[in-house]
Amino acid sequence: MRKYDAAYVLVVSSSVARGDATDTTGPELAEWLRGLGFATPDPVRVSDGHAVAEALERILRDAPAVVITTGGTGLTPDDVTPEMTARFIERRVPGIEQALIAQGLEHTPHAALSRGIAGVAGSTLVINLPGSRSAVRDAMVTLAPVVPHACDQIADVRTHGRGGEESALDAPGSVEASGGAPAQSAPAQPATTSAVVATRITRDPCLTDAASTVVTPECGAVVEFSGVIRNHDSGRGGVVGLDYTCHPDAEKVLAQVVGEVAQAHPGTRIVCEHRVGSLQVGDVAIVVAVAAAHRKAAFDCCEDVVNQVKARVPIWKQQHYDTGGHDWVGLQ
């Protein structure tokens, strides 16, 4: 993906467009796209129905790299976002559609009701997401490694045309220079910008393969940390489980903290999830995955994320013991 390519978020909700409801998904999607390196303005908000097609037509005139819609993918009569989107799609990408549904089904059977489509309109990747905040967050995890790679492929189509014919001068690898000596393509350089791929506080189990969500072809090292509930703490044994609780703003603080760590470690890509609710010994409470060009950068960044989250994010735990007692950890 070329840094500073444009991306747009289109929020489809009549109640949000009227000002009767708060947009809970658009700002989060926009911030996520910025973290991936896209130049993303504030979300565009429209009512359900033909306003979706009108907004897409205006946005696609600018030929952005990505357009993500949220809302209007269900079964009610007003849910016509897929139909409005299909007017502009030249090539469907069913793998993205299937991956989004599969990810959603891990958390709710209602994910099967989403009719969102994904495809290419001109030189733009367009993806429909449901309107719920939980579905959008699931989608961000699924799409984080996919969207940049898809944009790279589409950019290649822009460069070489759609006919499948490629000039020998544009072909990858070495070419024969006029003097007869092979001219090698320039070596790839490690990324110097960082990205927070996803952060989340959740009652659901943490990601089981967080590493796959951060790795890109530029990354030579991926570090994944899992914090697991143990049966002892601070020299006292007999821990049988605990309850995590958090401040209402904990998720915002988590995103801010991880973002600051990313800025302090150039060239890294980070995912961080922390669970709340009741956990048992052996359950995973926190997952951090970091990808970087080299292992030291990945290890250092991962350790910094874990330390900063533990020190600054307002999450507390009540530990339960086999004797029937309990105590609180993290309350200041």
CA distance 291 to 281: 28
| Three-state DSSP state, 69 | strand
- Residue 11 above 60 pLDDT? yes
CA distance 95 to 119: 10
* pLDDT, position 207: 82
Asked whether residue 80 falls in the same domain as residue 212, the answer is no
Asked whether residue 14 falls in the same domain as residue 142, the answer is yes
For 127, the token pair is: 């993806």
Asked whether residue 205 falls in the same domain as residue 325, the answer is yes
Is residue 107 very low, low, confident or very high in pLDDT (cuts 50, 70, 90)?
Answer: confident
For 289-323, write each residue's pLDDT tens digit: 999 999 999 999 999 999 999 999 999 999 899 88
Asked whether residue 255 falls in the same domain as residue 318, the answer is yes
Asked whether residue 68 falls in the same domain as residue 201, the answer is no
Q: At 48, which CATH number?
A: 3.40.980.10
The overall pTM is greater than 0.75: no
Asked whether residue 25 falls in the same domain as residue 101, the answer is yes
Asked whether residue 12 falls in the same domain as residue 136, the answer is yes
Q: Are 56 and 72 in contact (CB under 8 A)?
A: no
Q: Which of 135, 158, 181 is the last residue of a domain?
A: 158
Q: Are 46 and 105 in contact (CB under 8 A)?
A: no
CA distance 183 to 296: 33
* pLDDT, position 183: 33
Domain coverage including residue 275: 195-329
| Three-state DSSP state, 44 | strand
DSSP for 59-77, please give it. Answer: HHTT--SEEEEES--SSST
168 located within any domain? no
CA distance 316 to 330: 5
224 located within any domain? yes
CA distance 36 to 259: 12
182 located within any domain? no
For 237-288, write each residue's pLDDT tens digit: 889 899 999 998 898 899 999 999 998 999 999 999 999 999 999 999 999 9
Asked whether residue 11 falls in the same domain as residue 152, the answer is yes
Query: Structural domain tally of the chain?
Result: 2
